[in-house]
Amino acid sequence: MQSELSKRIALEISGMPVIDPHTHLQHKTPSAQFIGNIFSYHYIRMELSTVGMDVENLMSENIPPDIRMKNALPYIPKISNTTTWWGFMTICKALGFEDDTIHEGNFQDLCDIAKETMQSEGWYKKALHNVNIKRSFLTNLPDEDLSGCDRESFVPSLRTDEWVLDIQEKATREKLELLTNSSITNIFDLKCAIRKVADKFVSIKSASMAISLPPNFLVFPVANGDADILYSKVLIGRRLNDDELARLQSYMIYSLFEICNDLNLPFQIMLGVDRKIHRKLEWDGFSTDLNMVKTFRDALNRFPKVKFVFSILNSILNHELAIYSKTFANCYFAGHWWYTFYPALIKTAILERLQAVPYPKLIGWYSDSYYVEWTIAKIKLYIKSLSNALAELVEDGYINEDMALKVAKAMIHDNSIEIFSL
Amino acid sequence: MQSELSKRIALEISGMPVIDPHTHLQHKTPSAQFIGNIFSYHYIRMELSTVGMDVENLMSENIPPDIRMKNALPYIPKISNTTTWWGFMTICKALGFEDDTIHEGNFQDLCDIAKETMQSEGWYKKALHNVNIKRSFLTNLPDEDLSGCDRESFVPSLRTDEWVLDIQEKATREKLELLTNSSITNIFDLKCAIRKVADKFVSIKSASMAISLPPNFLVFPVANGDADILYSKVLIGRRLNDDELARLQSYMIYSLFEICNDLNLPFQIMLGVDRKIHRKLEWDGFSTDLNMVKTFRDALNRFPKVKFVFSILNSILNHELAIYSKTFANCYFAGHWWYTFYPALIKTAILERLQAVPYPKLIGWYSDSYYVEWTIAKIKLYIKSLSNALAELVEDGYINEDMALKVAKAMIHDNSIEIFSL
Amino acid sequence: MQSELSKRIALEISGMPVIDPHTHLQHKTPSAQFIGNIFSYHYIRMELSTVGMDVENLMSENIPPDIRMKNALPYIPKISNTTTWWGFMTICKALGFEDDTIHEGNFQDLCDIAKETMQSEGWYKKALHNVNIKRSFLTNLPDEDLSGCDRESFVPSLRTDEWVLDIQEKATREKLELLTNSSITNIFDLKCAIRKVADKFVSIKSASMAISLPPNFLVFPVANGDADILYSKVLIGRRLNDDELARLQSYMIYSLFEICNDLNLPFQIMLGVDRKIHRKLEWDGFSTDLNMVKTFRDALNRFPKVKFVFSILNSILNHELAIYSKTFANCYFAGHWWYTFYPALIKTAILERLQAVPYPKLIGWYSDSYYVEWTIAKIKLYIKSLSNALAELVEDGYINEDMALKVAKAMIHDNSIEIFSL
């Protein structure tokens, strides 16, 4: 693989500006501060656990970050094949660590070097600058305080899961009432309150709404009258049955589509997570339901002005979602989410998308990271896969090298500027 | 990719004769005549639409073909990454156009050159001859007039969708009555009429029956008595419920299997289209139902003499269908249909098939094209993917180069001759 | 493909020790004895049948082995593209045959050479030794006689399908009663009897339990009281309905999990076979149910000490099962089962696993073979795919060559030693 052509393309792409349109960065603490915290990233934590480490020794608040690193040492050799481990070592090098392996003899050096770098003045800006990331989206809860946010680096995005998935929870309503200083006595009050929050996010230049949905989530039109009755039951504390809940949830997501339509807000929709499949450790997994893409047919037809920006957590439906992005002008395909963020899956997915879908419909990458350090690793990994895929298209004679670079720049930067009106 | 070996294999394959066992060519107008009509192909029309073009400016009858081309100009740069665009440029070159891009300054030249070539005497034969296509199958409705058809170039195939999917439509019956000069008063009359049409198609040397089925179509035996009652309801104008309709449709397809069995007609079955998912533009999509292959188990066992020639519109079930082709002597696997006709998917699919299935069971390619010009682009694209796949098998030591060429010739020519008794 | 690096890695791997943790070898007759019997392997028999051979001419007891070979001659050219055929020729060469093709003129030589080799003293040990296989697991029915078994070469494994899938068959109970010299009058007696057999297998150092499940098998907790009632019905000869049978079967597999937990026995679970889809020839196929992996969530959480070693018969869920192996410390992923044992599928699957899952959780290969001769072909094929996959990881810079070799050795040897406590 990595032919000369691929390396040349990778070098060019490494100099291009990047937008990161989905992260979980905390704008007040965008860096991990300690190498031990880098380990807490769920990708790698899961790998140490699966080879036998008691993650309490990694996660417990009582354990200082450097000791977490030390505790992990015996397990590191067992995870050294994964690309997540490659990402960890890539981070170490970016922080100034020069060894190729980590062991009893040098882990304290790593801790010290990492701490010095990550706690230095202006580190997070420098980290992002080094990989040309111009702006990173945040994931903001409705009541999140964004005062003091570095708005040059970070772009707000309103996360709306609770208004759909947790709509029958009392806490959802109470939080909205508090936030909007209103009283919610029926579903129309509820929608007004949500609209108020959305208006506020637009006023602070939020670039999108976002939501994460489970694999079996169904999206279909529900009449106002039906939703009104269902929400009345919620308000008097009655538990909805599965069918009722599905109807109310679908009504709510259609309400969000309407708001996106009114406010010209793109909707980032992430499909496929199964929450807490590991009961003790509360780790998430994924599975596939073959309706998860096609359930959006009605919405895609009904809201032609809303930009639906989909991501998907399985590899099986990459092809189908690519064809949807080709079919519907308002359907976009973004990134390689979570458990699909591995080079073989990324390269295959890129080829399937780029051969079938005009490139302005594709957002190539987002980091999904919790700390800027993982952002470094993840853009570097992506550039490898993207270069390999583009080189294959050039070598097979489908595009030339200039087009490859134009496509790359659009996928990591220009398209996000355009789609999210940045 | 495209190693020296792959290029050498491609060159050899480019000299081999080809049969195209599925097209939508109109025998009276097999050429597009104008470059603007090349654009009307749904693959590329969809791409221009998804990047913002109003397809009315491409499709409307009121717009002269050359103006369609002109209207598309601003959108062309946005679709230039796709392999469909590569196909378009491949066609332009085959028509005599020499530039590598199309723009305001040269589009009229393209229109003129294309028109001159496509409207020249004997063009469609020359076009097919240039890519060694010996015979192309048509897709003929039961009442289609084939008089004057160039039977050296074209082979009839009887398309039967309406007798299954539209069996409860009054128009289906009336058309059959008119065509067979008979009166249909029960399901046995209906079957007789269908048999008469099939006999006629056999008499004019139709090479196959063909049908396209949606992903959730179920195939199971239904008793004559049950079907009789169901069709009686249809005849008196009662609407069948979903379950009744499924039973009647399945009865009808079994009736077609019986006719194929009696008449020694292969049955080309195309699995997986979802019609009109884009409501406004009435464009088709696909989805996957995990029963769509295995539902044929009973039929494959029950009709060992009928050659079932399957195509499938998703990539997920390529493996399962390949194993069916290996398991059942009467099960064949054909081509890369529609949304699977992209190089990455084709190469993967070829490898999965060729490593597991004896090659006489495989028909490698068909164009599915509406104009002979697209046939040119699609055979050229396929040869690239086939050569890459075969080169990989040779390089990994599984077959030698002679076997690779033998397999290629069988997949694009010999097997169709054999299977369809041409 | 097969780059210099890949060839170098393949050469190194070819010198490494191998454990084969799943076979159907008969310990008394581990060799095929005649080349004609090599043909009876279902992979290749199916290929000859699908190109038109009457398999009676291959299988019938009345036909001497050499005549079976002769009967197959006309069909061999038609299957020479498949990797199974490559495997057959690889076996021929390992037996001392030197030609590259088989035909009328040399098939008797092949028969003679093959017979001489395979019937020579100590052949099966030599065959395994030549490909460095140290130990091969057997598949043992509960009542199988293992006296005289070469325990240096072979490791017992208790196959338990009948205690789950055939739990309502009278023969299942009667066999258990005979085997344990007990009387089974309720489900608790049944479990005691099964436990006795398991104890016996542990006493003779069986390394695992094993079971093969159909795609739609559901695994969920069932109360003792419910199971007691269901099994009472079985005991009085009442047929259970589908729902009742599913509950009883699930109760039984949970009972086996409990025994594995008590006895510290790994459980090898093979997912996805559809039995006898070819009715006349009684050949098996596969299909996919999207619940087939996730149905194990409860069991994986409930039995953290039981090592679940999964294999899967489709390619679609490779990714999901890989992520399960990463998520759950007690979930292992093994081999490339049956219809997934083709190079393109193997390489893709290896990359998906190795990029995401720490390598101690992966068992790379097992032969699933019925004769040691097929073991030779299948380890050689696997080493090609493994080397290609590892070379790609090295070339893309994710691991270095030393790590590649370490991973390879673990996947074909060390991990089995560890997981099965050999």
Cα–Cα distance between C247 and C369 in angstroms, integer? Answer: 33
Rounded Cα–Cα distance for residues A341 and A82 (Å): 12
CATH of the domain at C81: 1.10.2020.10
DSSP summary character for residue A140: B
pLDDT single digits (tens) B283-299: 999 999 999 999 999 99
Say if strands C133-137 and C154-155 run parallel, antiparallel, or are unpaired: parallel
How many domains is chain C partitioned into structurally? 2
- Pairing state of beta strands A273-278 and A283-286? antiparallel
Q: Tens digits of per-residue pLDDT, B174-227?
A: 999 999 999 999 999 999 999 999 999 999 999 999 999 999 999 999 999 999
Q: Which residue in the block uniquely carries the two structure tokens 């495989």?
A: B362
pLDDT band, very low/low/confident/very high, at C68 (cuts 50, 70, 90)? very high
Task: Assess whether pLDDT exceeds 70 at residue A179.
Answer: yes
Least Cα separation, residue B275 to chain C (angstroms): 25
pLDDT of residue C1: 54
Asked whether residue B178 falls in the same domain as residue B260, the answer is yes
Nearest-CB residue to A356 (from B283, B287, B342): B342
Please report the pLDDT score of residue A85 as a whole number: 97
In 3D space, the residue among C108, C117, C146 whose CA is nearest the CA of residue C25 turns out to be C146
Domain boundary residue among B336, B356, B371? B336
Tell me, yes or no, if A316 comes closer than 8 A to chain B by beta carbon. yes
**Structure-token pair, residue C239:** 């047929």
- Measure C327 CA to nearest chain A CA, in Å: 6
| Average pLDDT rounded to a whole number, residues A39-65 | 90
Identify from A3, A50, A86, A320 which residue to disrupt to test chain C contact, counting C C-beta atoms within 10 A and taking the largest count: A50
pLDDT digit string, tens, across residues A164-174: 999 999 999 99
How confident is the model over A344-355, as pLDDT tens digits? 999 999 999 999
B181 in the same domain as B92: no
Residue C210 forms part of a structural domain: yes
**B232 and B299 fall within a common domain:** no
Compute the nearest-CA separation of C81 from chain B (Å): 6
Task: Kindly list the residues from chain B whose CB atom is less than 8 angstroms away from the CB atom of residue C315.
Answer: 319
Residue A131 lies in a domain: yes
- The verdict on B254 and B329 lying in the same domain is no
Q: Of the candidates C87, C118, C149, which is a domain's last residue?
A: C118
Q: How far apart are CA C415 and CA C422, in angstroms?
A: 10
In terms of domains, do C78 and C153 share one? no
Q: Contacts of residue A321 in chain B, CB cutoff 8 Å?
A: none
Summarize pLDDT for C317-355 with one digit per residue, the tens: 999 999 999 999 999 999 999 999 999 999 999 999 999
Contacts of C289 in chain B (CB under 8 A): 290
The DSSP H or E segment spanning C402 is helix C401-409
Chain A: closest CA distance from residue B277 (Å): 7
**C165 plus C291 within the same structural domain:** yes
Please report whether residue C295 resides in a domain: yes
What is the helix (H) or strand (E) element at residue A284, kind and residue range? strand A283-286
Confidence of residue A42 (pLDDT cuts 50, 70, 90): confident
Residues of B in contact with A407 (CB under 8 A): 81
* Rounded Cα gap, residues A69 and A55, in angstroms: 12
| C209 shares a domain with C109 | no
Q: Cα–Cα distance between A331 and A322 in angstroms, integer?
A: 9
When pLDDT is averaged across residues A201-205 and rounded to a whole number, the result is 96
Same domain, A143 and A42: no
Q: How confident is the model at residue A58 (pLDDT cuts 50, 70, 90)?
A: confident
| B246 and B271 housed in the same domain | no
| Nearest neighbour of C1 by CB, restricted to B360, B392, B403 | B392
Nearest CA in chain C to A275: C297
Chain B with chain C: Cβ pairs closer than 8 A: 102
Cβ burial of C67 (10 Å; 0-12, 13-18, 19+) is middle
In this prediction, what percent of chain C has a pLDDT beyond 90?
96
On whether residue A5 sits in a domain, the answer given is no
Domain housing A145: 124-155+202-219+256-419
Residue C221 lies in a domain: yes
User: What one-character-per-residue DSSP string does A348-397 give?
Assistant: HHHHHHHHHS-GGGEE------SSHHHHHHHHHHHHHHHHHHHHHHHHTT
Question: What pLDDT, on a 0 to 100 scale, did the predictor assign at position A54?
Answer: 95
Same domain, C311 and C336: yes
Q: Which of residues 118-157 of C touch B (CB under 8 A)?
A: none
- Rounded Cα distance between B122 and A277, Å, is 66
- For residue A129, being part of any structural domain is answered with yes
Contact (Cβ atoms closer than 8 angstroms) between residue B397 and residue C10: no
Q: Tell me the DSSP string of B324-356.
A: HHHH-TTEEEE---GGG-SHHHHHHHHHHHHHH
CB contact under 8 A, C355 and A344: yes
Would you call B290 and C287 a contact, using CB atoms and an 8 Å cutoff? yes
Which residues of chain C make contact with A84, given a CB cutoff of 8 A? Answer: 356
Q: Which residues, 6 or more positions from A346, have their beta carbon under 8 angstroms from its beta carbon?
A: A336, A340, A381, A382, A385, A386, A389
Is the same domain home to C176 and C49?
A: no
B345 to chain C, any CB pair closer than 8 A? The answer is no
**Which of B305, B336, B367 is the endpoint of a domain?**
B336
| pLDDT computed for residue A1 by the predictor | 53
B369-383, C60-74, C269-283: the lowest-pLDDT one: C60-74
CA of A414 vs chain C CAs: smallest distance (Å): 27
Tell me if B323 and C339 make a contact (CB, 8 A cut-off). Answer: yes
Q: Which chains touch A (3 or more CB pairs under 8 A)?
A: B, C
CA atoms within 13 A on the CB side of B397: 15
What sign does the dihedral C211-C213-C219-C224 (CA atoms) show?
Answer: negative
Q: What is the pLDDT of residue C2?
A: 73
Q: Using an 8 Å CB-CB cutoff, list chain A residues near B1.
A: 392, 395-396
Query: C5: which 2 tokens?
Result: 């690096």
Same domain, C93 and C149: no
Q: Are B38 and B48 in contact (CB under 8 A)?
A: no
Q: What is the ipTM of this complex?
A: 0.97
Position B399 in a domain: no
Residue B11, chain A, CB below 8 Å: the answer is no
Q: Which residues of B touch C78 (CB under 8 A)?
A: 358-360
pLDDT tens, residue by residue, C207-249: 999 999 999 999 999 999 999 999 999 999 999 999 999 999 9
Question: Which long-range contacts does C87-91 make (Cβ < 8 Å, 24+ apart)?
Answer: C87/C43, C87/C44, C87/C374, C87/C377, C87/C378, C87/C381, C88/C38, C88/C39, C88/C44, C88/C377, C90/C376, C90/C377, C90/C380, C90/C381, C91/C38, C91/C373, C91/C374, C91/C376, C91/C377
How far apart (Å, rounded) are the C-alpha atoms in residues C42 and B327?
A: 10
In a domain, C12, yes or no: no
| Phi, psi of A233, deg, nearest 5 | -60, -45
Beta strands in B23-174, from DSSP E residues, in sequence order: 133-137, 154-155, 158-159
Interface membership of B283 toward A (CB under 8 Å):
yes
> CA-to-CA distance for A138 and A21, rounded, in angstroms?
8
Contacts of B278 in chain A (CB under 8 A): 301, 327-328
**CATH code of the domain covering residue A285:** 3.20.20.140
Q: Which residues of B touch C388 (CB under 8 A)?
A: 396
